[in-house]
Amino acid sequence: MNFATLSLKELIQAIKSGKTTQKEVYNHFLGQIKTLDPKLQAFNVVHENFEEKDISSPLAGVPIGVKDVFCEKGIETTASSKMLIGFKPPYDATVISRLKTAGFSSIGKLNMDEFAMGGSGENSAVRITRNPWDTDRIPGGSSSGSASAVASGMVPAALGTDTGGSIRQPASMCGIVGFKPTYGRNSRKGVMAMASSLDTPGTFTRTVEDAAFLYEIMAGYDIGDSTSLNEPVKIDPSIWERKDLKGIKIGVPKEYFIDGIEE
């Protein structure tokens, strides 16, 4: 079974059905990191010790990469700045807590433009991440490590943050699904801010369905974030049964059609 080609939901199903184990999946991606990351430089920290998770949990222990801007209790979190090397947060970011409850395994912290200030992945104080499709090209930023890690098959999914394109741009440059939810849907508590009134935690995945799956786990009201939305979080499951897009309206902002934008 080639784990690197499977979606997040397919990996979870493989574990729950007994076709593979949590540890086998984790070790596969650990091997991918050891093989590919010396060239791609996507990871700042790698967790080599796997801890068994509840197999009945939604995520069933599947490994996910974490942009190095989300606080994880006791795990070095630097925002790719030398100023924070050695800093280990005393608590988890809210979205990390929710992912832990859902049974995820954090496999490592991913490189980024320092304090999320950049759009190329070249502004990290720690390392320069490469685009896995062409290592002479940039992966985009600021969530450079997250996009490169998912696109190269080092992780099936990764967390990112988006203020002015820091998920959407690298996802586009690396050819994967980048999802920036509506501001306030995902709590910012425990996320090192680039611009607090704009920052939005989101995800990088191989499929749109995986993005929706993680969104339902991560999103929701948080008393620790005064801007979080207190609205139900649920995606209509019938959307995955659609055979076409009849009746669906897609809005394209008029600002996309300006001088200087390639047709």
Does 262 have pLDDT greater than 90? no
C-alpha 209/C-alpha 213 separation (Å) is: 6
C-alpha 94/C-alpha 90 separation (Å) is: 13
Nearest CA to 144 among 126, 155, 160? 160
Nearest CA to 94 among 223, 227, 182? 223
Looking at residue 193, the DSSP 8-state letter turns out to be -
Does 239 have pLDDT greater than 90? no
Nearest CA to 178 among 152, 153, 154, 143? 143
pLDDT tens for 178-215 read 999 999 999 999 999 999 889 999 999 999 999 999 99
Q: Report the pLDDT value the prediction gives residue 110, as an integer from 0 to 100.
A: 98
Confidence grade of residue 2 (pLDDT, cut at 50, 70, 90): confident
Does 13 have pLDDT greater than 90? yes
Catalytic residue among 166, 180, 187, 228: 166
pLDDT tens for 69-122 read 999 999 999 999 999 999 999 999 999 999 999 999 999 999 999 999 999 999
Confidence grade of residue 256 (pLDDT, cut at 50, 70, 90): confident
C-alpha 106/C-alpha 100 separation (Å) is: 9
Catalytic residue among 142, 146, 187, 228: 142
Q: Which CATH architecture has domain 3-235?
A: Alpha-Beta Complex (3.90)
Is 67 labeled as catalytic in the residue annotation? Answer: yes
C-alpha 215/C-alpha 185 separation (Å) is: 9
Q: Report the pLDDT value the prediction gives residue 4, as an integer from 0 to 100.
A: 86
Q: Report the pLDDT value the prediction gives residue 260, as an integer from 0 to 100.
A: 86
CA 164 to chain centre: 16
Instruction: Provide the pairing of β-strand 43-46 with 177-179.
Output: unpaired
Domain ranges of the chain: 3-235
Q: Read off the amino acid at residue 77.
A: T
Catalytic residue among 7, 9, 53, 67: 67
Q: Report the pLDDT value the prediction gives residue 111, as an integer from 0 to 100.
A: 98
User: Structure pTM?
Assistant: 0.94
Overall average pLDDT of the 160-169 stretch = 96
